Amino acid sequence: MTRGHLRVYLGAAPGVGKTYKMLEEGRRRRERGTDVVVGFVETHGRPFTEAMLDGLEVVPRMTMPYRGSDFTELDLDAVLARRPDVVLVDELAHTNVPGSGNAKRWQDVDALLDAGIDVLTTVNVQHLESLNDVVEAITGVPQRETVPDAVVRRAEQIELVDMTPEALRRRMAHGNIYKPEKIDAALGNYFRVGNLTALRELALLWLADKVDEQLDRYRTDHGIDTTWETRERVVVALTGGPEGDTLIRRAARIAARTKGADLLAVHVVRGDGLAGADPASLTRQHLLVESLGGTYHQVLGGDVPRALLDFARGVNATQLVLGASRRGRLAQMFSPGVGVTTTAESGTIDVHLVTHEQAHRVRLRLGRPGGGLAPRRRLLGFGVALAGLPGLTAALAGLRGEMALPSDILAYLVLAVAAALVGGLIPALICAVGGFLLLNWFFTPPLYQFTIAERENVLALIAFVFVAAAVATVVDQAARRARDAARASAEAQTLATLAGSVLHGDNPLQALLDRVRESFALTSVTLLERGGEHDPWRIAATVGGPPCTAPSDGDTEVPIDDDAALVLRGHPLQAADRRLIEAFAAHAAIALRHQRLGHQAAAAQTLEEVDKLRTALLSAVSHDLRTPLASAKAAVGSLRSPDIDFSPEDTEELLATAEESLDRLTRLVENLLDMSRLQAGALAMTLEPVGVGEAIPRAVDDLGPLAVGVRISVADDLPEVYADPALLERVLVNVLANAVRHSPPGHPPMIGVSEHAGLVDIRIIDHGPGIPAADRDRVFQPFQRLGDRDNATGVGLGLALSRGLAEAMGGSLQPEHTPGGGLTMTLTLPSADVAGSDRADPALLTHLDTRRAGKAER
């Protein structure tokens, strides 16, 4: 079956006309003969929107009872049974009433699409999951209903319903969005010009990203590799050299000139893996790019200009920033260089060649002769040259009459090649020069003179020296490259191990420093930071033996930047190892930075939780505590009034009202205080054996008339529980009150008790609407009124406090689904025979802890 097509009408704010546009499209399709039905449309009482429904078939909604009220939802089964060509479904991010087939409306839409039905729907930008926190920061209004971005991005068509902030505010002022009593508050809060402008920009940018994805997909599908300048993208090429910072900042300034431009940095890794850049410099430049809002990339390529241009065209870049060549003019005469070649082949991409301090500074990279061979091999090569020359000369002198000069030259050439293979360049050159002189003296007429009679002999001897030197050079370079390859492989393996230890460790910085110490056999590794006047250096992290308190205390200092250094103690490092150590040092700085950011984030999260708690507390004080105070004050004030004479019955009723209000106020204040004590760990309790058969009736009696009809099933032979009597009663009262409040008429809650393996389970069972599995942990958050439609039922502390008290007594409180519908709260406490006995079996206590943990996991 072909999946249906999804069309989304995206708006920046309520009232821009998304639903109107969707209905307009539905009417247009119906006029073309398409079978169109309305699955769910919310008009919000707007007359123009309601008028658009005329003439369209509307599928009746499904009515869902929830906590004493009736709510209407999309009837998914009815729409699937009707099987239209197109269905209109409003408010994609809507959360369905508990008990519906799907938790979210976008899941209903997904089911319709799977059935081959095209869907037209609407959503506001504040409901997109990726922008939810951004919108809350702008408007100050949290959005509880969200839809995953991927759901909207999968749509075949997304249409932005746009409107200027001024026009939207005029529409609001004319009463076309909200009712008159809400207009002033909306215009002064959510619908301020600044808020609407920011939301509009968010919607435009999000849609631009979606269009960009579609464009990339189209270019890939049609094999288009030319640049389409739809968005400014600046690519900066990095070599890891000192000029990289200059290039990155110049590219960032170029990108900043255009709103929404992208900055991308790319480093081309040579295919042979031997001419790699300094990893420490690349790491620092990587951080700089990201700090400027760009992204860092690495590509593999033997031809650097072609690799750069392939990457630039692949990301649809418009500008490419390169550094001016550091090669000298003589080198540029033989090869034009990366910059010139890239510019010549760039096509429509603009290339910027940026000058810098390192430009045209010739870098002499002369290797040490024989540097690729071990000292023993070089000595052996000298031995072959110095011993082989006289020995070969004596042997050839004895055969002078039997061998011609060409044969003698070949013999000396074989000796030079052998010296090159064994000892490298210098022994081979000695062998070549010595062979040339010996051939001239002993075997080239006239003999025993450094003169040559025939011209062809001159050519032969010169060719001999050239071939010997060439072979020696090739052998030496091969040995050096083999050494570099082995070193590069070792460095790569070390860096890979470093990355693994950093990624998988709980403490990346500690793991990284440990890896440095182990890899280089050091005694200690210390990361130092600049301190104050009295303490110039302070230890940020250290591993191993006694730490270094200053850079001068170690054997090797590796500066990271002006304010940090990595100090190594144990033995001096070889110069060849310093490059790898610098890479470690750069990663150590990154790990330290991430560690600090993690600590700051944790501190910020704690402050955020405290702020949320304070805000919720103030909200509770402003409403829930004020209500009983106002009731009690009104009752007492009426009784004290000299203008009214109350009958005894009226007086009794007013006193009862005042007492009930003050009792309610007392319970609220006690809950608040106990919650504060729980969070501070200062709640006093006395644990002792308590009879369950006595505690449950007392809790039922405390609820008074609310608990009429509650059924209790407690066996006579149940053991006592180990708990605080007063706190246990508080827990039972809170949980039972919640069950009574949400139980349907005629179906009161039931309390059942059972015992197994040293644990006593008290189950409070109701047959109300229940709680979705995904929301069961949320009901235990302080000040949470999950699903409550009013603010007069308490401050939302009952269940949070109950769980805290249960855990403080060594038990647990877990929600479960009631078979047939509803919620079962299970309070688990240790029996007095197990938890209260000093002679309790350790295995049984372990089983108690395990079962308690298992209940928490469920």
Sheet containing 556-561, strands listed edge to edge, beginning at the edge strand earlier in sequence: 537-544, 524-530, 564-569, 556-561
Range scoring the smallest mean pLDDT among 371-385, 665-679, 783-797:
783-797
What would the pLDDT profile of 227-242 be if each residue is shown by its tens digit? 565 678 899 999 888 8
Residue 682: Cβ-neighbour burial (10 angstroms; 0-12, 13-18, 19+):
exposed
Decide the pairing of beta strands 6-11 and 62-66: unpaired
Most confident region among 361-370, 775-784, 843-852 by mean pLDDT? 775-784
Phi, psi dihedral angles at 404 (to 5 degrees): -90, 175
Distance of alpha carbon 701 from alpha carbon 108, whole angstroms: 45
Report the pLDDT averaged over residues 831-840. Answer: 61
Q: How many CA atoms lie within 13 A of 226 on its CB side?
A: 3
Number of other residues whose CB lies within 10 A of the CB of residue 72: 13
Residue 26 has a CB neighbour count (10 Å cut-off) of 23
Cα separation, 415 vs 422, whole angstroms: 11
Average pLDDT, the chain: 80
Q: Please calculate the CA angle 125-126-128 and round it to the nearest 5 degrees.
A: 70
Amino acid 784: pLDDT: 55
pLDDT for 329: 60
- Asked if pLDDT for residue 577 goes beyond 60, the answer is yes
Q: Is the pLDDT of residue 112 over 90?
A: yes
pLDDT of the residue at 366: 41
Kindly indicate the confidence band of residue 855, based on its pLDDT and cuts at 50, 70 and 90: very low
Confidence of residue 367 (pLDDT cuts 50, 70, 90): very low
Please compute the mean of the pLDDT values over residues 842-850 and round it to a whole number.
Answer: 48
Query: Taking the CB of residue 405, how many other CB atoms lie within 10 A of it?
Result: 16
Per-residue pLDDT tens digits for 152-196: 988 999 999 988 999 988 888 888 888 777 787 778 788 888 889
Is residue 844 over pLDDT 50? no
Is the pLDDT score of 698 beyond 60? yes
What would the mean pLDDT of 500-525 be, rounded to a whole number? 75
Mean pLDDT for the stretch of residues 430-458: 80
3 state DSSP class of 760 = strand
Of residues 784 and 642, the one with the higher pLDDT is 642
Looking at per-residue confidence, does 67 or 730 come out higher?
730
- The answer for residues whose C-beta is within 8 angstroms of residue 402's C-beta and 6 or more apart is none
pLDDT of residue 365: 44
Q: How much is the average pLDDT of 354-365?
A: 60
Q: Is 635 helix (H, G, I), strand (E, B) or coil?
A: helix
> Which of 174-203 are b and which e, b meaning 16 or more Cβ less than 10 Å from the residue's Cβ?
eeebbeeeebeebeeebbbeebbebbbebb
Predicted local confidence at residue 228, as pLDDT: 66
- In the chain, % helix, strand, coil (3-state, to 5) comes to 50, 15, 30
106 Cβ contact list (under 8 Å, min separation 6) = 92, 93, 147, 148, 151
427 pLDDT exceeds 60? yes
Q: Report DSSP state, residue 216.
A: H
pLDDT tens-digit series, residues 611-670 = 665 665 555 555 556 667 777 888 888 888 787 788 888 888 888 888 888 877 787 677
Our CA angle for 357, 359, 365, nearest 5°, is: 110
Residue 857: the pLDDT is 44
User: pLDDT grade, residue 536 (50/70/90)?
Assistant: confident
pLDDT given at position 750: 92
The pLDDT, as a whole number, for residue 362 is 46
Q: What is the pLDDT of residues 243-257, one digit of tens each?
A: 888 899 999 999 888
Distance CA 34, CA 21 (A): 17
What's the rounded mean pLDDT across residues 561-576? 80
Q: Residue 400: what pLDDT? A: 78
pLDDT in tens, 253-282: 998 887 778 899 999 887 655 445 677 788
pLDDT at residue 358, as a whole number: 62
Query: For residue 499, what pLDDT band results from cuts at 50, 70 and 90?
Result: low
In terms of pTM, does the model score above 0.85? no
Strands 295-300 and 262-269: parallel
Q: What is the pLDDT of residue 790?
A: 43
What crossing angle do the helices spanning 425-438 and 455-504 adopt, rounded to 10°? 170
pLDDT of 118 higher than 90: yes
Mean pLDDT of 440-461: 77
Among the residue ranges 53-57, 476-480, 570-574, the one predicted with the least confidence is 476-480
Per DSSP, the residues of 123-179 read: EEGGGBGGGHHHHHHHHS------B-HHHHHT-SEEEEE---HHHHHHHHHTTSSS-
